[in-house]
Structure 1
Amino acid sequence: MSERIDAWTHIFPPAFFARLQTMASATGPLRRWLELKSLYDLDHRFRLMDGFEGYKQLLTPSMPPIEELVEGAQAIDLTRLMNDGLAELVDRHPDRFPGFAAALPMHNIEAAVDEIARVDAMGAAGVQLPSHIRGIPLDHARFIPVFDEIARRRLAIWLHPVRGPVPDYPTEEKSRYEIWWCFGWPYESSVAMARLVFSGLFDRHPDLKIITHHMGAMIPYFAGRIEQGWGLEMGSRTPPADANLLPGKLNRSVEDYFRMFYADTALSGAEGATRCGLEYFGEGKVLFASDFPFDAEGGSYLVRETIKALDNLGLADPVRRRIDSENILAIIRRDTTRHGPVAPA
């Protein structure tokens, strides 16, 4: 059995978890996270991992985003505590955790750029960014230095959706039936991807690697609408008075940009959606991932069902190896680009 690296698993490092327990929101919005044992108990996590042969995990910060928990200097300190903990876990357990994606204090651009340099030196494979920063879109001009520094250092981005119970209709106060999570999160990812595409990000940084959660969200399924509406008919639905809402000139077709994203298999075991995403992004851009540990079994369900969905596709062995480990290892090691951190600018 060859190794399988789960490219998107969440965790609270011990010192970070201890700090969270002292925060006022620990009895409110944070309660669900603090009660999920797999997020903070390593022994429990290892027992679940051992149920899958050859199974390893790339670590990413757990939601919620740090910017939504604290502000100012506290957010910077909490971010550093998270990243120090992630790096320590990878250093202590390289047989379990081959790499990590770091958090950034995105409310403070200068601090975020400094943290990119710090986590690069610590060996991070990249950084995890939420789909917006407290309502500010990622294509806002204030974030350009962050993306420039990430690209300069050839780090990858793990793009994670974030959305609370905002109303589904303007006549209501909150979303009902947890629609905000089931459909809202894929929508958030898709909007963030579109905004980054139309901002010209890939024209400025054509080698930038952005990994999108849940197999690129809505993008593969709506490929036809993308080609029609944003390829053949862009602008036809916008009156001249709103021309400022349309994108500037891009170097390539819109569908070409969307296929530049990477995507993971965190689809809760949906075989048809996995096939759709693999066909859209291609075997070189799809990474095995489960979204561990966010299920009723503490992570085992998602891993098991994701493996089952891939097994049912009957993929050729070389394709399966790329998805299971080779694609993410290339990102972790940055083999095709450079070795070690770049020198300061």
Structure 2
Amino acid sequence: MKLIALEEAFWCDKLQTDGSPLAHIPLKPEVLAKVRRLLPDFTEFRLPEMDTNGVDMQVLSLTAPGIQAQPDADVAVADARAANDFLATVISEHPGRFQGLAAVPLQDPKRAAAELRRAIEELGLCGALVNDHTLGHYLDEPQYAPFWETLQDLGVALYIHPNPVPADDWSLLRGYPGLDQATWSWAARTGGHAMRLIFGGVFDRFPGAKIILGHMGEFLPSHLYRFDVRYADLDPAKQLQLKKPPSEYFGANIAITTSGVFSHEALVAAIHAIGIDNVMFSIDYPFERTEAAVEFMRTAPLAPADKAKVAHENAERILRLK
């Protein structure tokens, strides 16, 4: 079975930004050491692990928070350009094994749009990834219109990934550092970002735009019914009126990956919620185990044609990998 995995992290030591996520995650020392060793590597560990487990391609992206926490817009632009050039070189050195999602310096939306266009048209990358908020700003805000226009014009998808640096102080999490990371809060925050895009009318203004959410949709697919019935009761004077119910933007504008949620029950529920054409295989390397992800996919209780869609065909179509 062909496997394409598309939330697979890397780091480039040449950047001015200290974008490593490791200072923000309370991991065991041995886990930190392993991740630090694996993030900048492509040949010593990564490709052999892919070969051992039968992963045909990783779609690479700069690890979180990447450049999203960089306060200097000029540095962010330079680092995005350097990261994308580096990524394009890695891809060219290993044809057919890697593709890549561009880093975008949203500190300056117009220059982010220009860098996105360069990354797609000149470097041959297959989409973009943003690590949730950029210095506390979310993509429903009006200054990001040039970026959405370019994304729609290019016909590529934007992966919205969690940001380990919180945008604000969420008092609910005080005293519980284990909750303030991948265990729970990252999914809630990133899912909230996607809901801002829906409720802010971004997909009504840019109907051709496509985003991807990891981690089986950041909790959202299971709540589509509730989104619709509660939205229908909102006072139209206090909420932007959408062109269709919130659930209908899933599939049309929102796809998801399985990254880090290797549960057959969750997979089947997500497919029932948003459709077989909108779910894609992912590992979340090097933070998750490749062998666990592959075993999950190979044993998934799906018909062969549906399994092929999740394993590689949906990614080939949405990211235009063929």
Matched, 1:193 2:194: yes
Relative to structure 1, the CA distance from residue 88 to residue 33 in structure 2 (aligned partners, 3 Å threshold; closer, same or farther) is farther
Q: CA deviation at 1:131?
A: 2.0
Q: 1:176: which partner in 2?
A: 176
Q: CA deviation at 1:8?
A: 1.4
Contact 1:274/1:310 (CA < 8 Å) preserved in 2? no
Partner AA of 2:247 in structure 1: E
Partner AA of 2:176 in structure 1: R
What is the root-mean-square deviation in Å for CA atoms of aligned residues? 2.7
Relative to structure 1, the CA distance from residue 50 to residue 202 in structure 2 (aligned partners, 3 Å threshold; closer, same or farther) is same
Q: CA deviation at 1:160?
A: 0.8
- Identical counterparts, % of pairs: 24
Matched, 1:225 2:226: yes
Contact 1:268/1:305 (CA < 8 Å) preserved in 2? no
Residues in 1 aligned to 2:190 and 2:40: alpha-carbon distance in whole angstroms: 26
Q: 1:252: which partner in 2?
A: 244
Residues 67-82 of structure 1: matches in 2 within 5 Å?
Answer: 67-69=68-70, 71-82=72-83
Q: 1:96: which partner in 2?
A: 97
Q: 1:273: which partner in 2?
A: 266
Q: 1:17: which partner in 2?
A: 13
Q: CA deviation at 1:266?
A: 1.1
Moved runs in structure 1, 4+ residues, more than 3 A? Answer: 22-35, 163-168, 310-313
1:197-233 per-residue CA deviation (whole Å, 9 max, x = no partner) reads 12222222222221111121111122232122123x2
Partner AA of 1:162 in structure 2: N
Contact 1:26/1:34 (CA < 8 Å) preserved in 2? no
Residues 206-221 of structure 1: matches in 2 within 5 Å?
Answer: 206-221=207-222
Match of 1:324 among 299, 311, 314: 311
Relative to structure 1, the CA distance from residue 19 to residue 203 in structure 2 (aligned partners, 3 Å threshold; closer, same or farther) is closer
Q: CA deviation at 1:191?
A: 0.8
Matched, 1:8 2:7: yes
TM-score, reference length from structure 2: 0.87
Deviation larger for 266-275 or 77-86: 266-275
Residues in 2 aligned to 1:74 and 1:34: alpha-carbon distance in whole angstroms: 28
Relative to structure 1, the CA distance from residue 56 to residue 138 in structure 2 (aligned partners, 3 Å threshold; closer, same or farther) is same
1:289-316 per-residue CA deviation (whole Å, 9 max, x = no partner) reads 1111114xxxxx2x32223333443211
Residues in 2 aligned to 1:276 and 1:52: alpha-carbon distance in whole angstroms: 26
Contact 1:274/1:309 (CA < 8 Å) preserved in 2? no
Relative to structure 1, the CA distance from residue 225 to residue 66 in structure 2 (aligned partners, 3 Å threshold; closer, same or farther) is same
Q: CA deviation at 1:175?
A: 5.0
Residues in 1 aligned to 2:227 and 2:248: alpha-carbon distance in whole angstroms: 10
Relative to structure 1, the CA distance from residue 201 to residue 184 in structure 2 (aligned partners, 3 Å threshold; closer, same or farther) is same
Q: CA deviation at 1:320?
A: 0.9
Contact 2:212/2:257 (CA < 8 Å) preserved in 1? yes
1:37-85 per-residue CA deviation (whole Å, 9 max, x = no partner) reads 2211221111211221253211111111313145232221111111001
SS in structure 2 of the partner of residue 17 of structure 1: coil
Contact 1:113/1:146 (CA < 8 Å) preserved in 2? yes
Residues in 1 aligned to 2:105 and 2:251: alpha-carbon distance in whole angstroms: 28
SS in structure 1 of the partner of residue 106 of structure 2: coil
Residues in 2 aligned to 1:27 and 1:38: alpha-carbon distance in whole angstroms: 13
Q: 1:234: which partner in 2?
A: 234
Task: List alignment gaps of at least 5 residues for structure 2.
Answer: none
Residues 57-68 of structure 1: matches in 2 within 5 Å?
Answer: 57-68=58-69
Q: 2:38: which partner in 1?
A: 38
Q: 2:111: which partner in 1?
A: 111
Larger RCO (CA under 8 A, 6+ residues apart): 2
Task: List alignment gaps of at least 5 residues for structure 1.
Answer: 237-242, 296-300, 336-345
Number of residue pairs aligned between Structure 1 and Structure 2: 312
Relative to structure 1, the CA distance from residue 107 to residue 54 in structure 2 (aligned partners, 3 Å threshold; closer, same or farther) is closer
Residues in 1 aligned to 2:22 and 2:185: alpha-carbon distance in whole angstroms: 25
Q: CA deviation at 1:96?
A: 1.3
Partner AA of 1:320 in structure 2: K
Deviation larger for 31-40 or 279-288: 31-40
- Bigger Rg, which one: 1
Partner AA of 2:312 in structure 1: S
Deviation larger for 100-109 or 124-133: 124-133
Relative to structure 1, the CA distance from residue 150 to residue 328 in structure 2 (aligned partners, 3 Å threshold; closer, same or farther) is same
Residues in 1 aligned to 2:197 and 2:21: alpha-carbon distance in whole angstroms: 33
TM-score, reference length from structure 1: 0.82
Contact 1:87/1:100 (CA < 8 Å) preserved in 2? yes
Relative to structure 1, the CA distance from residue 195 to residue 45 in structure 2 (aligned partners, 3 Å threshold; closer, same or farther) is same
Residues in 1 aligned to 2:187 and 2:310: alpha-carbon distance in whole angstroms: 21
SS in structure 2 of the partner of residue 305 of structure 1: helix
Residues in 1 aligned to 2:319 and 2:64: alpha-carbon distance in whole angstroms: 22
